[in-house]
């Protein structure tokens, strides 16, 4: 019997970030230490079906078309209770067979139904250790409105914002538009629960607002309108400390916009022109230390575990926290692994540390 740690790698999912999750899976499958880990790749189709996929990174790469988990006819079943960690699969011919006992789940799912606490709750119901943040931190990190509310309460500066729904606008359109106008121009319009800049618009004139709201409401029923902050876009990666030690924070990376309005989906995942990623960023030691302190404070404030990427605007007055991402991308061009690489932690070592933390973390 193998003494390797058995990892169930969950990827794909029902959100609009399905393809990004698949690309992250390709990165992990290609880099994980095979001498230590045996991987069970569980792809979740866009319809939410759990399937057993090949242990092969081929096809799970960023290209002109983002990868998609195919429905290959298999059906994966999680353990029935916390007394066992045995997974089973039903093959297309109807045969049901055991996939063996799993030591830890690694949910590299982005967006709703994966990064938002839903699958984390499922793992906890069946007593399965898992990589990353727990139910509360995942739910908080996914919802931009509640993230800002919690961080503001913890003394972390965030950009001023107004949260709207269709119902609020229908009840008193003038009131909410006055509140939005109070933010000044330009503003960013964002779905409350989405990532990878999906559904995000920059509004430079008020006549553009309705179209931006429609785009964001297509992703979520709650939308944030946020004051645009002028400053350098910098971010850092966070890892949970071992055995109750403080969180560890990487060096900073920077997103330098040359010709693009903002760091949108095409720039993040299709390598579109107009953006340069710099890591490590050129920050004085004192400023870097302050950024790392705030990142660790934000991670602590949401009850973080495992990992996060914390994004800031660095202004003349200091750091303004933009977002905290509880399951950042691991694609070849993602900033989370790049920040740790610049801090002396390679991709395979990073995966190893996350799995170790997942196994050791008490929920």
Whether pLDDT at 271 is above 70: no
Task: Please list the residue range(s) of the chain that carry CATH number 3.40.50.20.
Answer: 5-130
**What pLDDT band is residue 124 in, cutting at 50, 70 and 90?**
very high
Task: Check residues 324 and 62 and name the one with the higher pLDDT.
Answer: 324
Whether pLDDT at 126 is above 50: yes
CATH architecture of 141-157+230-360: 2-Layer Sandwich (3.30)
Among the four given CATH numbers 3.10.580.10, 3.40.50.2300, 3.40.50.20, 1.10.274.10, the one describing domain 5-130: 3.40.50.20
CA angle 242, 245, 249 (to 5 degrees): 85
Provide the pLDDT for residue 272. 52
Task: Check residues 311 and 196 and name the one with the higher pLDDT.
Answer: 311
Look up residue 307 and give its two tokens: 């990992």
Provide the pLDDT for residue 156. 98
Give yes or no for a cis peptide into 283 (omega within 30° of 0).
no
Enumerate residues 6+ apart whose C-beta is below 8 A from 268.
Answer: 196, 197, 329, 333
**Percent of the chain at pLDDT exceeding 70:** 94
Provide the pLDDT for residue 260. 47
Residue 309, burial from CB neighbour count under 10 angstroms (0-12, 13-18, 19+): buried
**Percent of the chain at pLDDT exceeding 90:** 82
Whether pLDDT at 41 is above 70: yes
Q: Which of 55-59, 107-111, 165-169 has the highest mean predicted lDDT (pLDDT)?
A: 165-169
Among the four given CATH numbers 1.20.120.430, 1.10.10.60, 3.30.1490.20, 3.30.420.40, the one describing domain 161-227: 3.30.1490.20
Q: What is the DSSP string of 95-157?
A: -EEEEEE-SEEEE---STTTSSSHHHHHHHHTT--BSS--HHHHHHHH-HHHHHHHHHHTT--
**Mean pLDDT computed over 155-181:** 98
Provide the pLDDT for residue 270. 46
Provide the pLDDT for residue 257. 78
Whether pLDDT at 220 is above 60: yes
Give yes or no for a cis peptide into 336 (omega within 30° of 0).
no
**Mean pLDDT computed over 84-104:** 97
**Mean pLDDT computed over 207-225:** 96
Provide the pLDDT for residue 265. 53
Whether pLDDT at 268 is above 60: no
Task: Please list the residue range(s) of the chain that carry CATH number 3.30.1490.20.
Answer: 161-227
The whole-chain average pLDDT of the chain stands at 92
Task: Check residues 165 and 61 and name the one with the higher pLDDT.
Answer: 165
Provide the pLDDT for residue 282. 96
**What pLDDT band is residue 63 in, cutting at 50, 70 and 90?**
confident
Task: Please list the residue range(s) of the chain that carry CATH number 3.30.470.20.
Answer: 141-157+230-360
Look up residue 225 and give its two tokens: 């309108």
The pTM of this model reads: 0.91
Nearest Cα residue to 6 out of 108, 100, 124, 117:
100
**Mean pLDDT computed over 186-213:** 91
**Mean pLDDT computed over 304-322:** 97
């Amino acid at each position: 019997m193998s003494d390797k740690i058995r990892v169930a790698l969950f990827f794909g999912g029902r959100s609009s970030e399905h393809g990004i999750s698949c690309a992250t899976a390709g990165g992990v499958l290609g880099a994980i230490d095979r001498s230590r880990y045996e991987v069970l790749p569980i792809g979740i189709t866009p319809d939410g079906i759990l399937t057993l996929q090949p242990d092969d990174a081929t096809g799970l790469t960023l290209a002109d078309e983002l990868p998609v988990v195919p429905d290959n006819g298999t059906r994966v079943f999680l353990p029935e209770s916390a007394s066992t960690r045995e997974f089973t699969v039903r093959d297309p011919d109807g045969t049901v067979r055991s996939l063996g006992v799993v030591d830890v789940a690694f949910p590299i799912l982005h967006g709703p139904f994966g990064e938002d606490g839903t699958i984390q709750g499922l793992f906890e119901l069946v007593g399965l250790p898992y990589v990353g943040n727990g139910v509360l931190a995942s739910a908080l990190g996914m919802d931009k409105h509640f993230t800002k509310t919690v961080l503001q309460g913890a003394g972390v500066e965030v950009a001023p914002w107004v949260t709207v729904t269709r119902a609020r606008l229908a009840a008193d359109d003038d009131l909410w538009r006055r509140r939005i106008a109070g933010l000044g121009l330009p503003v960013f319009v964002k779905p409350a629960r989405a990532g990878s800049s999906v559904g995000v618009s920059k509004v430079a004139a008020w006549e553009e607002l309705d179209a931006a709201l429609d785009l964001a409401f297509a992703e979520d029923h709650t939308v944030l309108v946020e004051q645009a902050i002028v400053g350098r876009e910098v971010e850092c990666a966070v890892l949970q400390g071992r055995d109750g030690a403080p969180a560890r924070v990487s060096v900073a990376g920077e997103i330098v916009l040359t010709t693009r309005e903002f760091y949108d989906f095409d720039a993040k995942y299709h390598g579109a022109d107009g953006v340069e990623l710099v890591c490590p960023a050129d920050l004085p030691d004192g400023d870097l230390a302050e950024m790392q302190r705030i990142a660790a404070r934000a991670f602590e404030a949401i009850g973080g575990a495992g990992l996060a990427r914390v994004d800031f605007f660095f202004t003349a007055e200091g750091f303004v926290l933009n977002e905290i991402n509880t399951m950042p991308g691991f694609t070849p061009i993602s900033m989370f692994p790049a920040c740790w690489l610049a801090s002396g932690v390679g991709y395979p070592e990073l995966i190893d540390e996350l799995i170790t933390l997942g196994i050791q973390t008490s929920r």
